[in-house]
Amino acid sequence: MERAGSLASLPDDLTGSPPTARAGDDALSAVLRTIRLSGTLQFCFMPRGDWQTDAAPSLARLAGGRDGGAGGGRVVPFHIVADGRCWLRVGDARLELSAGDVIAFPFGTPHQLGCGAGGPTVTPVKDLPPKPWREIPVMRYGDGGTATRLLCGFLQFGSMAFRPLHDALPPVLLVRTASDPDAAWLRATLERIVAEAEHARPGGLSVLERLTEVTFIELLRHGIAGLAPGSVGWLAAMADPRLGACLSAIHADPRRDWSLADLSSVAGLSRSAVAERFATVLATSPVRYVREWRLCLAGDALRTTDRPIADIAFEAGYGSEAAFSRAFAKAFDSPPAAWRNAASA
């Protein structure tokens, strides 16, 4: 992620006291509601000795490309290291993982896991039993040597079409909960996931789905909290008290005809300072941001309801269905009717 100059160097022209540091939380919640979980797959992977995986072919099929195609669907692979150690290779980069680490790939980035010198290649995704499952499958490989236990899976989101969030996500989200003092809540959630996977109980698979979705949200929140001063992008805007307050206000009332004067009052900044912060941190204007959020909500309505397109267009602030269709197709490379059909499929 590129860095910009410190926000403290921007012209302030303060007109009021700053909002609270958690101001962006409501905007994050609003966006996460539009990318609600639509499916999941999870299994326990327990190899021993030297081994390696070849994840690229499976991920390519499941993820369906970086952008998820029309309808904005997205498969996010994840791994939780419950016990032992292993390495992770993404391209030419290699990381050592240990118990308590959790890693997710928002764009389905191909990667390999392994231990030692590599050893036999295993493909647990291909070896999974047919669904439905009454409990989480356990895939064991090898004998002797050091044991590793991972919880692996994929989160299927119905849509991740909001461009500012899409562009802000890194290819890899990694938190080392065992050594991070700020990751206590996430560490406790991972421990609960491991416990649910180990001891099958009625409703256990549903509980695992919910906990895994919460884990992904917490990965995003952890990433926001760890951003360096001067970071740019949508996650950085969430961490900025003044911008976060603006975004929360917009997301709470997207149909309002927001003006710079309105946002200036919300942020406690002058109108020029609000415009400059949007440009510097989000590389957009407040007007464009509002328009993109309305279109994202329109996409969610197309995906989840059977409401007439004309009604959705009016709610998004467009005077005609034709104007809405042109704007929607420009933003999402698909006209509204085609988007709806692809999402249904």
Say whether pLDDT at 328 is over 60. Answer: yes
Does residue 166 sit in the same domain as residue 313?
no
CB 51 within 8 A of CB 114: yes
Least confident of 19-28, 51-60, 156-165: 19-28
Give me the CATH number covering residue 119: 2.60.120.280
Mean pLDDT of 210-235: 85
Buried b (16+ CB within 10 A) or exposed e, 161-170: bbbbbbebbe
pLDDT tens, residue by residue, 24-59: 457 878 887 776 666 777 889 999 999 998 765 555
- Asked if the structure places residue 31 within a domain, the reply is no
In one-letter notation, the amino acid at residue 328 is F
Tell me which of 204, 225, 246 is where a domain ends.
Answer: 225
Does residue 95 sit in the same domain as residue 221?
yes
Q: By residue range, what is the domain housing residue 282?
A: 7-25+231-344
> pTM of the full predicted structure?
0.79
Does residue 254 sit in the same domain as residue 304?
yes
- Asked if the structure places residue 134 within a domain, the reply is yes
Q: In this predicted structure, what is the pLDDT of residue 60?
A: 46
Does residue 84 sit in the same domain as residue 161?
yes
In three-state secondary structure terms, 316 is: coil
| Rounded-to-integer distance, Cα 332 and Cα 345, Å | 17
- Asked if the structure places residue 2 within a domain, the reply is no
Give me the CATH number covering residue 322: 1.10.10.60
Tell me which of 225, 241, 256 is where a domain ends.
Answer: 225
All residues at 6 or more sequence positions from 142 whose CB lies less than 8 Å from its CB, including other chains: 47, 48, 49, 50, 51, 119, 120
Does residue 87 sit in the same domain as residue 195?
yes
Q: Which residue has the tokens 């421990």?
A: 191
- Asked if the structure places residue 30 within a domain, the reply is no
Tell me which of 225, 259, 288 is where a domain ends.
Answer: 225
To 10 degrees, the CA torsion angle through 105, 111, 115, 118? 170
- Asked if the structure places residue 310 within a domain, the reply is yes
Q: Alpha carbon of 204 to those of 179, 212, 292, 326: distances in Å? A: 28, 12, 38, 45
Q: In this predicted structure, what is the pLDDT of residue 4?
A: 33
Percentage of the chain lying above the pLDDT 90 cut: 41
Least confident of 185-199, 241-255, 273-287: 185-199
> What's the domain count of the chain?
2
> 117 versus 310: which is more confidently predicted?
310
